[in-house]
């Protein structure tokens, strides 16, 4: 496995120099890593005189509106709205099922494209692919790209880079945290990043409705496999009942994962067209392999999937797969 220090960015730099109007895209339900990578690279490319654009496959989650409060940069993807773009950079995902309505458009597009990601699960989206699973965040890769282009990391993008680096490592709690992570954080803070502001915006500015939804999830928390599996579930009816939004489910997985003795945690979220599942593991189980069996994927200890079947049916199948993984060497 390559370390980020050994990635040869020269083909990507050559690609970026050749194209003046790239479209920067990330996965649906974008998070701080995907959004931060887009915004950081967009700043760098704009500084080079490029006419880059930033788009997302679906609505911008409320908790990330502070990254672009007046929506001057982040656009909602609409087919036909990006015809002047001459290339595509897909950041923080490399799978078709994470691209939402952008996926069919990308499949039909003749534009050259690049994938920059740190997840293990990958499809062939075509074009150049830069995947480094040793990187703690795609933001790390965005940082490396900016430095490889010879551009100084201005303070204007530091808060975005810090947001994605700190959130994907769980604020230095997750196993993907390395000495290099602290070095990067130190450099960003020295250049003007404000981790206190970031934490407050991301974790201490939640609407009351989100706490009501958390209460529902905690009431439904269940255990399996002698306490090694914890899971909960959210139904469509819970959103009008609590006033919460689907985006308020983003951190729910942390609660079953926090139960003593739990090896694998899951959250099942009912969708209009099926079920969304979040997976987290401690060390023994590679949940990305389980997620891949259900059309999803991600990291070894953190993955997700969407299945076009009812929640009760999907829940039972996945719980059986998790329990089998726990007892299989």
Q: Are 15 and 114 in contact (CB under 8 A)?
A: yes
* pLDDT attached to residue 173: 85
Pairwise CA distance, residues 121 & 54, whole Å: 24
Characterize the bridge pairing of strands 113-117 and 53-56: unpaired
Sheet holding 222-224, edge to edge: 222-224, 229-234, 264-271, 274-281, 302-307, 297-298
* pLDDT attached to residue 155: 57
Residue 191: pLDDT band (50, 70, 90) is: confident
Q: Are 22 and 88 in contact (CB under 8 A)?
A: yes
| Average pLDDT value for residue range 219-230 | 97
Pairwise CA distance, residues 260 & 230, whole Å: 10
Radius of gyration for the alpha carbons in the chain, expressed in angstroms and rounded: 20
Residue range 236-283, pLDDT digits in tens = 999 999 999 999 999 999 999 999 999 999 999 999 999 999 999 998
Pairwise CA distance, residues 171 & 162, whole Å: 10
Residue range 35-91, pLDDT digits in tens = 999 999 999 999 899 999 999 998 899 989 999 999 999 999 998 899 999 999 999
Pairwise CA distance, residues 265 & 229, whole Å: 6
The residues near 63 (Cβ < 8 Å, ≥ 6 apart) are 201, 202, 205, 206, 247, 250
Nearest to 196 by CA among 227, 224, 171: 171
Token pair of 136, please?
């703690």
Residue range 102-144, pLDDT digits in tens = 999 999 999 999 999 999 899 999 999 999 999 999 999 999 9
Residue range 178-190, pLDDT digits in tens = 999 999 888 888 8
Pairwise CA distance, residues 250 & 259, whole Å: 18
pTM: 0.87
Residue 2 has pLDDT above 50, yes or no: no
């Amino acid at each position: 496995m390559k370390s980020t220090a050994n990635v040869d960015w020269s083909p990507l730099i050559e690609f970026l120099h050749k194209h003046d109007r790239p479209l920067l895209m990330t996965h649906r339900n974008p998070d701080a890593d995907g959004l931060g990578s887009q915004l950081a690279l967009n700043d760098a490319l704009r500084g080079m005189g490029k006419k880059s654009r930033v788009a997302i496959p679906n609505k911008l989650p409320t908790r990330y509106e502070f990254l672009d409060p007046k929506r001057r940069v982040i656009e909602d993807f609409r087919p036909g709205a990006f015809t002047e773009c001459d290339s595509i950079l897909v950041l923080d995902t490399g799978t078709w099922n994470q691209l939402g309505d952008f996926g069919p458009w990308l499949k039909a597009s003749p534009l050259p494209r690049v994938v920059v990601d740190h997840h293990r699960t990958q499809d062939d989206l075509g074009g150049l692919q830069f995947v480094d699973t040793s990187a703690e965040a795609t933001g790390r890769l965005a940082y490396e790209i900016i430095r490889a282009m010879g551009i100084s990391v201005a303070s204007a993008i530091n808060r975005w880079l810090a947001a994605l680096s700190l959130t994907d490592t769980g604020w230095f709690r997750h196993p993907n945290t390395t000495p290099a992570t602290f070095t990067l954080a130190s450099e960003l803070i020295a250049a003007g990043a404000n981790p206190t502001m970031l934490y407050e915006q991301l974790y201490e500015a939640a609407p009351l409705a989100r706490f009501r939804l958390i209460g529902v999830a905690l009431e439904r928390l269940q255990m399996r496999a002698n306490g090694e599996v914890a899971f909960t579930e959210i139904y469509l009816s819970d959103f009008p009942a609590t006033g919460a939004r689907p985006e308020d489910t983003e951190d729910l997985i942390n609660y079953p994962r926090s139960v003593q003795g739990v090896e694998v945690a899951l959250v099942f979220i009912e969708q209009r067209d099926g079920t969304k599942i979040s997976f987290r593991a401690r060390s023994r189980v590679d949940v990305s392999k389980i997620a891949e069996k259900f059309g999803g994927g991600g990291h070894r200890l953190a993955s997700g999937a969407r299945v076009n079947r009812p929640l009760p049916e999907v829940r039972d199948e996945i719980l059986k797969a998790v329990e089998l993984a726990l007892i299989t060497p």
